[in-house]
Amino acid sequence: MTTTTVSVDDLDFDVAVEGPAEGIPVVLLHGFPQTSDCWDRVVPQLTAAGLRTIAPNQRGYSPGARPTGVDAYESSKLVGDVQSIIRAFGLESAHIVGHDWGAAVSWQLAGLHPEYVRSLTAVSVPHTAAFGWALREDPDQRERSTYMSLLRQEDKAERVLLEDNAARLRAMFSEHSPDERYVEHLSAPGALTAALNWYRAMTNEFGELPEVRIPTTYVWSNGDTAIGRAGAERCGEFVDADYSFVELDGVSHWIPEEAPERLAAEILSRVSP
C-alpha cells in the first residue's frame, strides 16, 4: 500500500492509501497489538471493487503521533484523530471499518459523531455499551478480559510482553498474522507504552455510549478468546438502524488476517447494499 503522512495539529500519522481517488472512501482502523498492516489481505478485494481505502496507523502507532502520558490516549482524542484524518482527505464522511480497539473507536465515532459515518462495519468488538454490560454481568466475559489488568500496569506490562524476545507478545497473534512486523514496530522506543496507554486511559465512558443510528454490520467469530457470545449477541440492541450480525465459525479474534475474503465481502455488502 502507498503510505502518506497526514498532519493533525502537532501529530503526523502514517496512512496507507489505495484505490482510485474518486472511489467510495472506506476508513480502516486497526486494533492492538497490530498496525494498518492487518488490512493487507482485505484491501486488494476492496480496491478491486473500486473503493478507496484509508488505513492509518493510529495514535501511538505512528512514530510521529506518539505523545507521552496516559491522558493523551483518552477516547475523545482517538475519535478526534479519525475525524481529522477524514477531513484531511477532503471528505465530510466515509464508511468506517474497525477491528478490536479500532472497532471500539468506530462505535464511539458512529454514536457521538454520526455525520462522519456513512456506514459501520465493526469487527470482533461489539457496541461498547454491550461490551460494558457483558463485563459487568457475564462471568465468561469477565474471565476472558482478565488480561486487561496486566496491560494496564505501567512498566510491568512492557517488561512481560517484551521479555524472552517478545515471546508473550508473539503468542497473542494468529499464525496468519504478520507478527514479525508487529513485534518490530512495537519494539521501537516508546511504541509499546503508547499502544498500552489505550488500555490505561480506558474509563467507564465506553460503556455509556448511546445507541448507534447508522447502518451497521457486526462481524464476530465464535473462536474469539477475547470476546464472548453474551456481548456479541446483545450488540444489536444498541443499533437503531439496518443491522446485520455475522457470526464466523471457527475463526479466531484475528478476523482481518484469518478470514479476509469473508470480511471483505461483508464490508462490500454494507458499503454497497
What DSSP letter does each residue of 44-100 carry, written as one string?
A: HHHHHTT-EEEEE--TTTSTTS--SSGGGG-HHHHHHHHHHHHHHTT-S-EEEEEET
Give CA–CA dist 188/263, Å, rounded: 30
Q: Considering only 98-107, 161-170, 202-211, 258-267, which range has the smallest mean pLDDT?
A: 202-211
Predicted TM-score (pTM) above 0.75: yes
- In the chain, pLDDT over 90 holds for what percent of residues? 89
**Mean pLDDT across 60-81:** 96
Residue 245 has a CB neighbour count (10 Å cut-off) of: 15
**In this structure, which CATH number among 3.40.640.10, 3.40.50.1820, 3.40.718.10, 3.40.109.10 belongs to the domain 2-271?**
3.40.50.1820
**Mean pLDDT across 116-122:** 98
31's grid cell: 486494533
pLDDT for residue 179 is more than 90: no
Which helix H or strand E contains 2, and what residues bound it? strand 2-8
Quick check: 219 and 111 in contact, CB under 8 A?
no
Give CA–CA dist 36/252, Å, rounded: 19
pLDDT for residue 193 is more than 70: yes
Residue 199 has a CB neighbour count (10 Å cut-off) of: 19
Which helix H or strand E contains 266, and what residues bound it? helix 260-271
- Cα–Cα distance list, 147 to 136, 144, 156 (Å): 16, 7, 13
- In the chain, pLDDT over 70 holds for what percent of residues? 97
Quick check: 55 and 15 in contact, CB under 8 A?
yes
Q: What is the pLDDT of residues 219-249, one digit of tens each?
A: 999 999 999 999 999 999 999 999 999 999 9
Instruction: List % helix, strand, coil for the chain (3-state, nearest 5).
Output: 45, 20, 35
